[in-house]
A = this chain, B = another copy of it.
């Protein structure tokens, strides 16, 4: 059951078997600019999850697979484990301070649904997910730029199809440049991303690594442009 509208907005998968709640959520989420897809039971949810929504809003009580099981499966699958899950639970008399519980990207909300609160939580969860993703520009898919293929998942670089060995730092620098291919990556920014603030920006180590990377790229070494006093750019 699809209901996305999308442009480049975020898609939220709503999993609930109560039609009233589904309509309520859909209406409000779409009004807020999210794409929405719907599943009314656990199995449908698993189908929809394959389309990689940006977030899952998940009722605990479900016919068939229950919410726990759906969550478990999402978190166990390499391809979907990064997707933040916000649980919806039945009405409760008391919720204190379980906020410490939110392991990873999991949050929860209690019914009845307060729309404003819901939207705030969703936004917060998405931001957190973004921030986690930004720790290292980690496109889960391999990135191909001309003759270059960079796969963060296995730390591999291929030039014209042949794998070239990159040391860790070299690889991370190249991955940072690749994550913004065609754009300038500031020197400071690069250093911050790779060394995590543990090194002073005047350090020459970056230059040395850049040289090594260019060597390893062989004929394509000049794909990394220097912009003096600014940074580097990986040509597309």
Contact = CB atoms under 8 A, between A and B. Distances in A.
Contacts of A121: 68
A191 B78 CA distance: 18
Nearest to A180: B78
Contact of A103 (B89, B94, B97): B89
A90 B99 contact: yes
Given A75-B131, A131-B75, A153-B183, A95 B103 contact: no
Contacts of A101: 75, 81, 92, 95, 98, 102-106
Interface stretch (A28-36, A195-203, A209-217, A222-230): A222-230
A155 interface: yes
| Identical chains bound together, number | 2
Contacts of A127: 72, 76
Contacts of A230: 155, 168
A78 B72 CA distance: 23
Interface residues of A, number: 55
Contact of A168 (B153, B155, B228): B228
B93 A89 contact: no
Contacts of A228: 167-168
Nearest to A120: B69
Given A98-B75, A124-B69, A168-B228, A132 B103 contact: yes
